[in-house]
Structure 1
Amino acid sequence: MSRSKNNLVSRQEEIIGILLITFGLLVLLSLLTYNPEEQPGNIEIGQIDNQLGIAGVYIAYFLNHYLIGRPSFVIPLIITFMGWSMFRGHSLVNSLRWSVYLLIFAVYTSIILALPEVISPGATELGYSLSGRVGRIVAQFMHRSLGVVGTILVLLAMIMITFIGATKISFSEFITEFMQRTASIISFVKSRSKRVRKRPKLKKEPSASVSKGFDSADKEVIEDVELGRGNNDKSAKKPQMEMELEIQEPGDAAGAALRREFLDPGNYKFPPMELLSTPQAREDEITKDELYANAQILEDRLLEFGVQGKVTDISPGPVITRYEVAPAPGVKISRIVSLADDLALAMRAKSVRIVAPIPGKGAVGIELPNRNREMVYLKEVIRSKQFQDSESPLALALGKTISGKPYVANLDEMPHLLIAGATGSGKSVCLNSIIASVLYKAHPTQVQMIMIDPKRLELSIFSNLRHHHLNYREDLNEEVVTSPANAISVLKSLERIME
């Protein structure tokens, strides 16, 4: 019964969709063949240019004269789009949303077309209006109320707001992206122009007088160029007509572009701990009484669901608290795992995570989110015994475990490190913590970093490390690489050094 009802609804939607598509195409045809001289009161049968006949004249005249003028082309497109969505069985919510935004932009366009007619009546040479009555009335009202400049500013603001609402694109992000692309293009053009300037200009037959002017270094350069072309016969005097050299220094030459002198590395001092924020005392810290009370509530709730168990240990952490529950004999672990959603509701928690069993223990871990999250300070982790006792210069202070203990990882034991997450999940904070860990642990002679930041948002503050831990190509004129072209060049230079 339900299936036949769904089929009936689907057929009805297809029929409505076909009707809307047909109507939209007919309206579009009437607008495409619209002749402003053809008006409802001035029609001669047999001499109508509109391909839809008398109906087309009425439809086109109504849309162009009484509504929004030339931007009325959006209306049949919206009707056709809605019909296509119904025919394909797509959700009408998203289609309706886009249709409304298109109609709003069409009204804005109508107002803009009406402004010249309102500001300077008779300035247009057309015998008809492009804007329609709606656009003209709104433009006249705005012009009387706000003047020319005010009307333009308000229109721009309304267009920007509607654009943000329709596309979900931030104008600040759009401007930032545009500036980054522009800077990348400028940087690429500069790098190409430098390469062109560095190419040697070779003549067909160098004369003896010119060769005498060369010093020994210049002779070595010319010999290297000739060897690079595979010409081992030095006595041959073949004219070298065309020769283009890409400035890609092989081997040590590429590495030399990355090597620099440090600012007195012998007197380098590690950054003081005072630069980091000191942990503040918490007023809302969870007490032992609350932990024991929650443990008792957890036992009672488990018993209500037919699971008998005893909380044997509690591990409070900065974000969650783990309660270790030892189930009674005969209780299946799968039974406890299946109660995650029920326990979240019973404990009034956003979510419950069950670790069954805890590795190395005969207990099940039930993790509940804390009422108030604890702020984890980088200073705590860097001053911890785990970080200070680590011999690796790539020890990373990443935070705390679920039990509240400092967590330190060694980057040299990882093949790669990828930081990923949703917006606002802490990727930038994690990256800054990693860089700070290196600064507090490694000497500049031990660790060198190349930073690439195409967005120009995260790593620009570290450009002052150029005399210490930050390595860069001096010919690229930027310590933190922001151009994709420069990033490729830097990585190639780094690859040659590592090989």
Structure 2
Amino acid sequence: MNKEKLKKELSGIVLGIIAFFYIGALLFYDQDDQTVLAGLKWYEFFGRGAMETVSKLHNPFGIFGARLAELFIRSFLGYVSIVPGLALLYWGWSLLRHKSLKPPLLFTFYTVFISLVAASMFGLTTAPFGDVMSGAIGRMLAAVLSTVIGYTGAWILLAALAAAATLFAVRILVENPFDKLRSAFTGIGVLKGRIVAAFEHKKSRESKPESEEAELSLPFPPENPENTFVEKLTEEAQEEAANSSSSAPTDDEPEITIREGVHEKEADLDKRRLKVKTKDRIAYRFPSVDLLRHTREEDDYIDETLLEDSKNRLLEKLRIYKVEVVRISATVGPRVTLFELELAPDVKVSRVTSLENDLAMAMAARGIRIIAPIPGKNAVGVEIPHGKPRTVWMRSVLQVEKFKNNKMALPVVLGKTIANEVYLEDLVTMPHLLIAGATGSGKSVGINVMLTSLLYACSPDRVKFVLIDPKRVELLHYQNLKNHFLVKFHGLDEQIITDPTKAVYALKSVEKEMEQRYDLLEKAGVRNIADFNRKQPDEALPYLVVVVDELADLMITAGRDVEEPITRLAQLSRAVGIHLIVATQRPSVDIITGVIKANFPARIAFQVASKVDSRTILDGSGAEQLLGNGDMLYQPTSQPKPERIQCPYVSSGEVEAITSFIGKQDGLKNFYHLPQPDIKEKGNGVQNGGFQDKDGRDSMFEEAAHLVVMHQQGSVSLLQRRLKLGFSRAARIMDQLEAAGIVGPADGSKARDVLVDSHDALDLLLRNLD
């Protein structure tokens, strides 16, 4: 038994004892006890005086019980004060039985309200017992109401309030009350019929001769002689009533076992070391968890009636197709319920998998997924959406001990499993992740969740981001991280890449960085980045996480130029600490090519349109049956079949709050620059370094200088458009213009300042350069 269950049970027992003491003390209230207690101070519970007083009390619960009864009955609601004690008993029972605490909470509100109404009613009466039944508060409320709306009006109002509150409580606290009443009356009718039949049978036996008596059959079998006649009648009546109100399950139908979900141990993430020193001695503070939305914890109450109904419909449909189920268990997750079916030995698994559409129709479900078989178990899994989906919030998956005390290099939270367990993975062991799903299925939110996990777990010295966002708006908020987590590219003004042509340059730059890191590892005599950082901590290399939010757009515009660096990085970059997260909304074979797919063993599939798309990303069906809004299948490298996970939700406002908090801190002095890649210019056919004059400057340098001075605007895109140059060459010329003092340094995505104001001044500067 875990500690949480033990705490609940102990709390339930304590509450039950308190409730019995409270109710008993009030029931044994005696007015004469007030006179006995008058000579005793209120805090005296021990000593000779207290012992003498106890012997004279009528209340068996002692001095404390007598004082408690006097306080509640005289000064509060009279004997009606006993009613809230029933709510206290309900709390204790619910904790002891591990039931949901929502019904006792509602019942508490109801008992308090109905006690006030009842005390007011007794206060309106003139009967001699009115004072002791209403108490001081009841009499006061009665006086106020009779003064404001009159005696008759007060009775009408209180009666209406009592009736409305009772009807509302019954509808809320009792599942299908009218069905239960009908079942009860049905049971009474069946019981009455059985008793009449039994007495007629007995009368006929007495009137028959002994020879014929043996031929008469008893209405019940002779087993269990210790049971009385009436007990047998009652049992059969209850069975008939239950059968008439249910969906007619068979007698040999297996009972359902509800598997308890995982209860993650909570931990305060803000109690760790939040302030650290970076390599350049700038203090960095981790974002507080309070920047994430604090939501009320949703009730994990399991509707056993609904679960039983789903089980009956599922087994009934399987019985039609001659599929015998020996044992069944259920696990209720955030959005779906997993039924684990242990089949009879002679039933083939393929017979269940072929019934996917039939079961979906029988369950009236949006889509069901069959796992045949569940890895490591002698069972077939059927995942069915339930009617009470719960949202998984980002804060709830970070505020757990598993995340706070993890020892992973790059921990990313993926969400919660069906068993409500927080699923945490190390990006280093993946080592790359491919994400696919239809529009609006949750891909961008999933990327935000992973980046947020890294921001809460890693300092700027440990990880850097290369963000490529062809959609231009999904990763916009991460611009606030430009002085801490984002890398800088030679020749590029922006740090978040949005232009597909510049994306090729950025990926090539990461590829060049990979080659240089391999040279460092070779010189140090180590195999991976972790060993290098341990051996040379002063020259420790940060991990690089490359995020591509829409691969399809890059493949359409650049094609082979994008596929080549992504494939090479996926094949080689793991050892040097470079990891890819690539997402696309078009999981087709022309986007997710065989070469890319082979180098991304870890994959995530959100909801897709068809089985073909599901097979493209996961090599199997199932993703087409997902529910959207973060419902996903994660295929880890260590498991043969994907795991169903509910991705947590983090809003754009929360992401902006986190990145703004980091962006307002002092920026790092030393930015992490990626090297300039060797790229062939399309259309010119010359590698980097071509078109150079004797001084090492590009042959188009002077023409570009006059162009920027004429427009008084220094930007790479201007050179591309007006001089018809490729991006990398135009960026290289812009660096040469900066080195010559013609334009200023890059300032984010803004155009560079032009430092020369006329062509005459430019000619003079160019002559001095020569």
TM (norm. structure 1) is 0.44
TM-score by length of 2: 0.29
